[in-house]
Chains A and B, each alone.
Chain A
Amino acid sequence: MRHIISILLENEAGALSRVAGLFSARGYNIETLTVAPTEDSSLSRLTIVTSGSDEVIEQITKQLNKLIDVIKVVDLSEAAHIERELMLIKVRATGKDREEMKRMAEIFRGRIIDVTDSTYVIELTGSGPKLDAFIQAIDAGLILETVRTGVSGIGSGDRILKV
């Protein structure tokens, strides 16, 4: 099962490597990982997408909580939440592909943010699966470069992760 785990941690040197090191040392997998400081610059918010059985996810959250730099851990996917990921994708856009690519971007509510004679850069935001779907939908031979930020997530409504 895919899980989105959200972590508040001390914004200190090495804190990120403690989290990443824990995943590699214990054989847990990381599908995506994003991290940035919050409005309180002493705190970082980290989102990890991982997968595993219920037992594995339980161990992951317990082991994360054990790290001294980790303040709070929540499995966002346990309840209502919103996830978003940003993708920048550079595609070949010549001839009839030029119009087709523009149409696909519109269908997926993407924006073309860089245009040359032969390429577009499309900016697309959405859940991880939505970005996957876009990649599936366009001609693979036209993709020149893909950059994805990894998933960020936040709980719905009153679900608030704060110190």
Chain B
Amino acid sequence: MMTGAEIVIRCLQEEKVDYVFGYPGGAVLHIYDELFKQDKVKHVLVRHEQAAVHAADGLARSTHKVGVALVTSGPGATNAVTGIATAYMDSIPMVIISGQVPSYYIGQDAFQECDTVGITRPCVKHNFLIKDVRDIAMTMKKAFYIANTGRPGPVVVDIPKDITAAKCKFDYPNDVHMRSYNPVVKGHLGQIKKAVQLLLGARRPMIYTGGGVILSNADKLLTKLTRRLGFPITNTLMGLGAYPATDPQFLGMPGMHGTLEANMAMQHCDVLLAIGARFDDRVIGNPENFASLPRKIIHVDIDPSSISKRVRVDVPIVGNVPDVLAEMIKLIEAEQGKTEIGDWWKEIEGWRSRQCMNYKLKNDVIMPQYVIEKLYEITGGNAIITSDVGQHQMWAAQYYKFDQPRRWLNSGGLGTMGVGLPYAMGAALANPDLQIVCVTGEGSIQMCIQELSTAKQFRLPIKIINLNNRYLGMVRQWQEMFHGSRYSESYMDSLPDFVKLAEAYGHVGIRVERPEEVEGALKKAFIEHKDELVFLDILTDREANVFPMVAAGKGLADMILAEDL
């Protein structure tokens, strides 16, 4: 016989969970007691529950494991909600265990009671409230299974305190069968054949891939397919690293801050192959302008509801991306010859020659783009880069060339400021041999700044690149462009001295104020202070804007380039 709390921990061990990110409290005391008695599952004590979920999410994004967080009832659970919603929007496999008041108190407005299952329902793949200790093992098994199959996503398991104290026999199920949940794996062969025929007959083909390729570990198959076809390819913000960014077939990122060549190719192709992507508004702009063009769209996705949601597609293929790609490659390799798309490439090279990513360096002020380029050089392009949300996020995505998957972690869907540092913590624990960099801004970093303390406790040698422009830069950019330069509440006043702040937490802080200091400071951080957390507070050009840009609601071809200004 085991207590419910012991069963919870045993389930985590059975699922080979290395790290649980969490924060204790009344309703989870029994679970924490069992954590204390074992050493297989390591617990990382964060300083705020939001960061627990983000850190577990960062671990999941940087590996392909399920991230696990543990929070108490009431405020513990509500603090976790932003993290859960963030993971949900980006389809990250997670299991979040929340304590609940004893089952006989539920509904009585007990101390630290909230309806966790109700509050999280719209932002989870699924959630459970356990009402019987005998259900814990099967529920945990289902939670991990649901989180990590089909289109992945977070699953919340809410466990009342009395259930964690009750006892029963522990028997972890080997497998799970659910009559209501059977994700599709193989794609429809007839549809795949149709898609291949379209691809081989295309004169202006384009491949567009999203986070689904990363999540399903299909990067190698994608690369093989793309090289075999010789087609141009773009990866979305969530899909960066799925295809090597340094390869000539790669056109850069598409969308609101995508490259001219990627957006124009998306807009002017005759056959578009979309894989594990969802035609998001930040990627295709206004669907009216996108869908009206005469072209064939092939869409491969594991989630049928992603298909024909914003843009009607001609060849839908529901299936697991690697399975579908393997099938496609097999069919294509059986075909003779190569598609003739030389004219299309000439057109693309014309767009590419506009060099839309060029920016002007300044003698006396640090340009943020320059910092990312130097960061790329010094880390050899091999670091895991996490980012927060805003201008710095776009510059990191644009100027750091990701050649490998799971090296770029950011909140693409929900756009959650504050994820950068906790993502870096999760990534650092899961990837001790890689350099972990958090590219952030002075606005975002303050949203989870308390985690500098966690990073100290667990000796995580994260390098924080704070692109400090003393503005909420993306808000300011939109205000400049669309609100008559009325900078309503977008300035950052009374900023802390980040160097002293880093030092107060026991880390190394370095301020960088001049362009010629950037390279030296980065080297100092990555070489001299290799094993320490270094907070680089880099004062950048205050009013640098992110270009190219497609204004919200416009079509992709309606681009504003830096050179136009």
Q: Is B506 an interface residue (CB 8 A)?
A: no
Q: Mark B278-315, 1 if CB is under 8 A from A, else 0.
A: 00000000000000000000000001110011001000
Interface size class of A (residues with CB under 8 A): 20 to 34
A10 and B121 contact, Cβ closer than 8 Å, known pairs A59-B309, A62-B305: no
Chain A CB within 8 A of B129 CB: yes
Instruction: Give the residue among A9, A13, A68, A69 with the most B Cβ atoms within 10 A.
Output: A68
Q: Is the CB of A163 within 8 A of B117?
A: no
Which residue of the partner chain A has the closest CB to B117? A14
Whole-angstrom distance between the Cβ of B167 and the nearest chain A Cβ: 24
In the complex, whether B190 has a CB less than 8 A from a CB of chain A is: no
Is residue B180 contacting chain A, with contact meaning CB distance below 8 A?
A: yes
User: Most chain-B Cβ atoms within 10 A of its Cβ — which of A10, A14, A163?
Assistant: A14
Q: In the assembly, what is the distance between CA of A21 and CA of B127, in Å?
A: 14
Contact mask for chain B residues 126-137; partner A; CB cutoff 8 A; 1 contact, 0 none: 100100000000
CA distance A66 to B152 in the complex (A): 12
Taking CB atoms, residues of chain A closer than 8 Å to B117 are 14
Considering the complex of A and B, which 9 residue pairs feature the smallest CB-CB distances, nearest first? A62-B305, A68-B126, A71-B180, A62-B304, A25-B122, A68-B181, A63-B305, A66-B305, A21-B121
Main secondary structure of the interface of A (DSSP, over half): helix
Residue in B146, B181, B312 with the greatest tally of chain A CB atoms within 10 Å = B181
Apart from A66-B304, A66-B305, A68-B180: 13 A-B pairs, beta carbons within 8 A: A9-B180, A13-B129, A14-B129, A17-B118, A18-B121, A55-B312, A58-B308, A62-B304, A63-B305, A68-B126, A68-B178, A69-B180, A71-B180
With A21-B121, A63-B305, A65-B304 already in contact, the answer to whether A10 and B129 are too (CB < 8 A) is no
A53 CB to nearest B CB, Å: 12
Do A17 and B121 have beta carbons less than 8 Å apart?
A: yes
- Distance A77 CA – B177 CA, assembled complex (angstroms): 31
CB of A68 within 8 A of CB of B304, answer: no
A70 within 8 A of B: yes
Interface: B125 (CB within 8 A): yes
A82 CB → nearest B CB, Å: 26
Number of interface residues of B (CB under 8 A): 18
CA distance A62 to B301 in the complex (A): 13
Q: Which residue of A has the minimal Cβ distance to B182? A: A71
Chain A residues lying within 8 Å of B303, measured Cβ to Cβ, are: 66
Residue of B whose beta carbon sits closest to that of A64? B305
What CA separation (Å) do A63 and B305 show in the bound complex?
6
Would you mind naming 30 contact pairs between A and B with Cβ atoms under 8 Å apart?
Answer: A9-B180, A10-B180, A13-B129, A14-B118, A14-B121, A17-B118, A17-B121, A21-B121, A21-B122, A55-B308, A55-B312, A58-B308, A59-B305, A59-B309, A62-B304, A62-B305, A65-B304, A65-B305, A66-B303, A66-B304, A66-B305, A68-B126, A68-B146, A68-B178, A68-B181, A69-B180, A70-B180, A71-B179, A71-B180, A163-B179
| Residues of the A chain whose Cβ atoms lie less than 8 Å from the Cβ of B181 | 68
Which A residues lie at the B interface, using CB under 8 A?
A: 9-10, 13-14, 17-18, 21, 25, 55, 58-59, 62-63, 65-66, 68-71, 163
B172-212 vs A: 1/0 string, CB under 8 Å?
A: 00000011110000000000000000000000000000000
CB closest chain-B residue, reference A14: B117
Residues of chain B lying within 8 A (CB to CB) of residue A9: 180
With a CB–CB cut-off of 8 A, which chain B residues contact A21? 121-122
**Minimal beta-carbon separation of B81 from chain A (angstroms):** 15
Most chain A CB within a 10 A radius of its CB, from B178, B180, B303: B180
List, in ascending order, chain A residues with CB within 8 A of B126's CB. Answer: 68
Chain B residues 73-118 with CB under 8 Å of chain A are: 117-118
Q: Which residue of A is nearest B178, CB measured?
A: A68
Contacts of B121 in A (CB 8 A): 14, 17-18, 21
Residues of chain B within 8 A (CB-CB) of A66 are 303-305
CA distance A58 to B307 in the complex (A): 10
CA distance A63 to B117 in the complex (A): 19
Distance in angstroms between the alpha carbons of A59 and B309 in the assembled complex? 7
Residues on the A chain within 8 Å of B308, using CB: 55, 58
Please give, as numbers and ranges, the residues of chain B lying within 8 Å of A62 by CB-CB distance: 304-305
